[in-house]
Amino acid sequence: MHASEATAYYFKRASKHLGMSERLEKILIMPKREVKVEIHVELDNGELVSYTGFRVQHDNSRGPMKGGLRYHPEVDPDEVNSLASLMTWKTAVVNVPYGGAKGGISCNPSVLSHSELQRLTRAFVDEIHDIIGPTLDVPAPDMGTNAQTMAWIVDQYSKYHGWTPAVVTGKPVELGGSKGRDAATGRGILFAIQAFMQDEGKALSDLTFVIQGFGNVGSWAALLIHQAGGKVIAISDLTGAIHNPKGLDIEALQRHAKETGGIAGFPGAESMDANKLLMMDCDVLVPAALGNVLTKENAADVKAKYIVEGANGPTAPEADELFIKQGKHVIPDIFANAGGVVVSYFEWVQNIQQFRWSEDRVNAELRTIMMEAYQDIKALAKSNNCDMRTGAFLLAISRVAQAAAVRGLENDSFCMIRPTA
Ligand code: NAD
């Protein structure tokens, strides 16, 4: 199943509860705009190379569109579409005033020099500067891009439109980036787990965790879960997988990964078969690396009772249906990993107000937003007698549809879309 089909499946599963018409479903599933541009860049050796760049703008009913920009050899338009739509639902779940977008350039950033990447980024901005902006569409870093990429975008965009740091988020702090942005997705995962486990009557110290991925999301989630008393017993990344039934020392693992480029060879753990990681005996599984890793092929072997989606789209619908049948709980991506976009929103707010927040304020406001979203999702899941993902989609779809209705973008049938809470 393609990524966009999986997102559409979850959307439709929720929209059934709302009694939505097919026509309305179609409007909310299809992106509003898909832009494809050719970018010509001179390499350091003088050769002229063309790259294809994309920006998919899914929905702007609730505000400017928001979503990452990835540089990857296989930027797949179908996946970009699916991720753009997930951003619409994610920003609605956490009630930040944005729609959803996603984009990227088909390129291999690891073989491009610093100056080639800079030229590529500036040339891309030349092509798309009139469709992005603080009130239109606000990109952010994603796979293969980082704070430096965002800094180049600010600089190039500002040549056309005047000084505009709010055109992107995830910038270096010196250029208007927010404190706490780096840890935000991992911190949001911690808050999501704390909120859910409180209802389950469980303390983090009672639970064992297994995490796939030790990049931005996985390493921050691991560190914060560890610091909050949770026992992280296994982790994997591209270099391999490690486990220690007594719990991994995450601070030491971070130092090791920084020095060696990965988690393999960490002296405080045994190495293990990375293919077995997702099926390990544990309480909480946090897939925080890739999409589509829990599938119909391996779902029956997953032992964790709780699955917290750090990555975007890690669970295929067939696996999700099985987990529901088995009474497992999935904390869905559009809520669990929303901490990043929430702090991106704080960055945008700080840029527009030309004001700086302390890290404590960022973390406290993030906690408030995650806790409110959790309560909203829980109320809908309870009243509709459904799983948390469907509850989150119900919340998101109804917020987007209601915003579209009151703006007068569609006919009155939008107004019918009110979930019962
Ligand atoms: P990243 O590039 O920083 O880290 C990815 C990690 O996954 C690395 O440790 C890498 O080694 C590991 N990995 C790659 N392939 C693997 C494999 N086959 N098995 C095990 N590990 C593997 O990326 P990230 O920013 O941490 O993003 C991870 C996921 O979370 C993506 O799905 C991304 O879209 C999603 N996400 C990220 C953010 C954010 O703020 N960074 C926010 C929301 C969602």
Q: What is the mean pLDDT of the chain?
A: 95
Ligand 1: residue whose CA is nearest its atom 35: 311
Domain assignment of residue 353, yes or no: no
Work out the average pLDDT over 237-257: 98
Q: Is the pTM of the predicted complex or chain greater than 0.85?
A: yes
Residue 79 Cα, ligand 1 centroid: separation in angstroms? 15
Domain end, chosen from 319, 336, 353, is at: 336
Ligand 1 pocket: which of 70, 181, 216 to mutate (most atoms within 8 A of CB): 216
Mean pLDDT of 281-295: 96
Full residue range of the structural domain in which residue 207 is found: 184-336
Please tell me the predicted confidence (pLDDT) of residue 417.
Answer: 53
Helices (H), 162-238: 181-200, 216-227
Nearest residue (by CA) to ligand 1, atom 30, is 311
Distance 290 CA to ligand 1 centre (A): 6
Atom of ligand 1 nearest to the CA of 170: 40
Amino acid symbol at 193: I
Do residues 65 and 96 share a domain? yes
**Domain of residue 209, CATH code:** 3.40.50.720
Q: How confident is the model at residue 357 (pLDDT cuts 50, 70, 90)?
A: very high
Domain with residue 131: its CATH number is: 3.40.50.10860
The pLDDT > 70 percentage for the chain reads 97
Alpha carbon of 311 to ligand 1 centroid (Å): 6
User: Do both 224 and 317 map to the same domain?
Assistant: yes
Banded model confidence at residue 116, pLDDT cuts 50, 70, 90: very high
Question: Based on the domain organization, do 241 and 261 belong to the same domain?
Answer: yes
Indicate if 169 and 193 belong to the same structural domain.
Answer: no
| Closest approach atom of ligand 1 to CA 239 | 11
Per the domain annotation, does 360 fall within a domain? no
300 in a structural domain:
yes
Nearest-angstrom CA–CA distance, 345 and 97: 8
Instruction: Examine the pLDDT at 413 and tell me if it is beyond 60.
Output: no
Which of 66, 90, 102, 171 is catalytic? The answer is 102
Does residue 291 carry a pLDDT above 70? yes
- Cα–Cα distance measured from residue 406 to residue 409, given in angstroms and rounded to the nearest whole number: 8
Ligand 1 site residues (CB inside 6 A) read 143, 185, 212-218, 236-238, 274, 288-291, 310-312, 337, 340
Look at residues 382, 377, 413 and name the one whose alpha carbon lies nearest to residue 395.
Answer: 377
Residue 10 domain-assigned (yes or no) = no
Q: Does one domain contain both 331 and 251? A: yes
DSSP state of 205: G
Is residue 108 included in any domain, yes or no?
A: yes
97 and 201 together in one domain: no
How many CB atoms are located within 10 Å of the residue 338 CB? 32
Claim to verify: residue 44 and residue 152 sit in the same structural domain: yes
What pLDDT score was predicted for residue 254? Answer: 98
Burial class (CB in 10 A: 0-12, 13-18, 19+), 55: buried
Residues 171 and 200 in one domain: no
| 46's tokens | 């003088």
Nearest-CA neighbor of 313 among 62, 13, 2, 39?
2
283 close to 305: Cβ distance less than 8 angstroms: yes
Ligand 1 atom closest to 337 (CA):
43
Q: 171: Cβ–Cβ under 8 A, 6 or more apart, which residues?
A: 147, 150, 151, 154, 165, 177, 347
Distance CA 9, CA 390 (A): 11
pLDDT, position 410: 58
Residue 329: inside a domain: yes
Residue 200 lies in a domain: yes
- Ligand 1 atom closest to the CA of 310, numbered from 1: 30
Alpha-carbon torsion angle 273, 185, 30, 403, nearest 10: 150
In tens, the pLDDT along 32-91 reads 999 999 999 999 999 999 999 999 999 999 999 999 999 999 887 888 998 999 999 999
Using CA atoms, how far apart are residues 192 and 188, in angstroms rounded to an integer?
6
Distance CA 182, CA 216 (A): 7
Mean pLDDT score, 260-278: 97
Same domain, 147 and 53: yes
Per-residue tokens: 263: 């988690």
With 60 as the cut, is the pLDDT of residue 99 above it?
A: yes
Give domain status of residue 376, yes or no. Answer: no
- pLDDT tens-digit readout, 330-346: 999 999 999 999 999 99
* Domain identity same for 159 and 56: yes
Per-residue confidence (pLDDT) for residue 19, from 0 to 100: 84
102 is catalytic: yes
Cα–Cα separations (whole angstroms), residue 324 to 109, 159, 162, 317: 39, 52, 51, 10
Q: How many domains does the chain have?
A: 2
Distances (CA, A) of 136 to 27, 172, 177, 317, 363: 19, 22, 19, 32, 27
Q: Are residues 189 and 162 in the same domain?
A: no
Same domain, 156 and 233: no
Q: Of 134, 150, 175, which residue constitutes the final position of a domain?
A: 175
Domain boundary among 175, 208, 228: 175
Whole-angstrom CA distances from 299 to 141, 228, 337 are: 31, 29, 21
How close is the Cα of 386 to the center of ligand 1, in Å?
Answer: 29
